[in-house]
């Protein structure tokens, strides 16, 4: 319990998958957690699991695409004199959730807008609030969830791929703009990870997916969580603007 001792960490999308695993891993390393999720019950379940293990966590319902909701969360934190030292911007949706699981020419404007509003604008809104908060507080560390789809064009997931490319660019821009404010900003780019997002793909083409990964398995949420915790911690004090690939070698 040393990497994040004495720090408060905000995790969006903390109710399940990579967000939940990272919240639990950060608490294990001594952090106090604020677990945010659009599903407030799921956020509370994660917080309760942390508390049950002897850690400290609060839960909050949050739609990251709602600018007023993001502002409201940070206003509440400031009223309660809570400082956010680290943040993991993990909330997002996949192509199926946006109705954009198709070739780019067939994506509707509505599906495109939903994907961008949640994944890209939502990440921007939370990132902007965190940057302002940390700048006033004297520094901090932020990690954004991108994807290997943010590094190349993923077939039949063009809108999703564009949104994740945007998160990589957003990460680099923020890192450059706010290095002088003692704020580090990095991204993780997961490959196939065994979460709810991947369930349909695993059911339809599990063996093929596994065969495409040199390490011979899909990732687990904890595989991503451990890297995120390190990036948030002072052990990564000279790392900013990076986009770490965590895909079992799939893009090698």
CA distance 12 to 42: 12
Residues 139-191 pLDDT 10s: 999 999 999 999 998 888 899 999 999 999 999 999 999 999 999 999 999 99
- Residue 213, Cβ density class (10 Å: 0-12 exposed, 13-18 middle, ≥19 buried): middle
2 vs 129, higher pLDDT: 129
- The pTM of the full predicted model, rounded to 2 decimals, is 0.95
Tokens in use for 250? 């799939």
| Domain regions of the chain by residue span | 8-191+220-245
Closest by CA to 234, choosing from 19, 77, 30, is 30
Cβ neighbours of 209 (radius 10 Å): 17
Instruction: List Cβ neighbours of 94 (8 Å cut-off, separation of 6 or more).
Output: 101, 157, 160, 197
Closest by CA to 74, choosing from 34, 15, 130, is 130
pLDDT band at 198 (very low <50, low <70, confident <90, very high): low
pLDDT band at 96 (very low <50, low <70, confident <90, very high): confident
Report residue 62: phi and psi, to 5°.
-155, 125
CA–chain centroid gap for 83, Å, is 19
Whether 160 is a known active-site residue: answer yes
pLDDT at residue 7 in the model: 98
- Looking at domain 8-191+220-245, what is its CATH homologous superfamily? NAD(P)-binding Rossmann-like Domain (3.40.50.720)
Q: Check 124, 160, 192, 197 and give the catalytic one.
A: 160
48: pLDDT strictly greater than 80: yes
């Amino acid at each position: 319990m040393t990497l994040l001792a004495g720090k408060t960490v905000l995790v969006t999308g903390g109710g399940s998958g990579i967000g939940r695993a990272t919240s639990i891993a950060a608490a294990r390393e001594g952090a106090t957690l604020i677990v945010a999720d659009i599903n407030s019950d799921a956020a509370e379940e994660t917080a309760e699991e942390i508390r049950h293990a002897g850690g400290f966590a609060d839960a909050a319902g949050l739609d990251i695409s709602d600018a007023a909701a993001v502002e409201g969360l940070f206003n509440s934190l400031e009223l309660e004199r809570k400082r956010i030292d680290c943040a993991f911007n993990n909330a997002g949706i996949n192509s199926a959730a946006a109705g954009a699981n198709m070739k780019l020419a067939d994506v509707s404007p509505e599906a495109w807008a939903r994907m961008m509003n949640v994944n890209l604008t939502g990440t921007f809104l939370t990132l902007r609030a965190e940057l302002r908060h940390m700048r006033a507080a004297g520094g901090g560390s932020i990690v954004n969830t991108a994807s290997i789809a943010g590094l190349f064009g993923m077939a039949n997931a063009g809108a999703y791929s564009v949104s994740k490319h945007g998160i990589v660019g957003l990460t680099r821009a923020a890192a450059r703009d706010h290095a002088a404010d003692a704020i580090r900003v990095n991204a993780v780019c997961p490959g196939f990870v065994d979460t709810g997002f991947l369930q349909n793909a695993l059911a339809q083409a599990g063996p093929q997916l596994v065969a495409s990964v040199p390490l011979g398995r899909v990732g687990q949420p904890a595989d991503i969580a451990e890297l995120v915790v390190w990036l948030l911690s002072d052990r990564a004090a000279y790392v900013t603007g990076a986009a770490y690939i965590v895909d079992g070698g799939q893009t090698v």
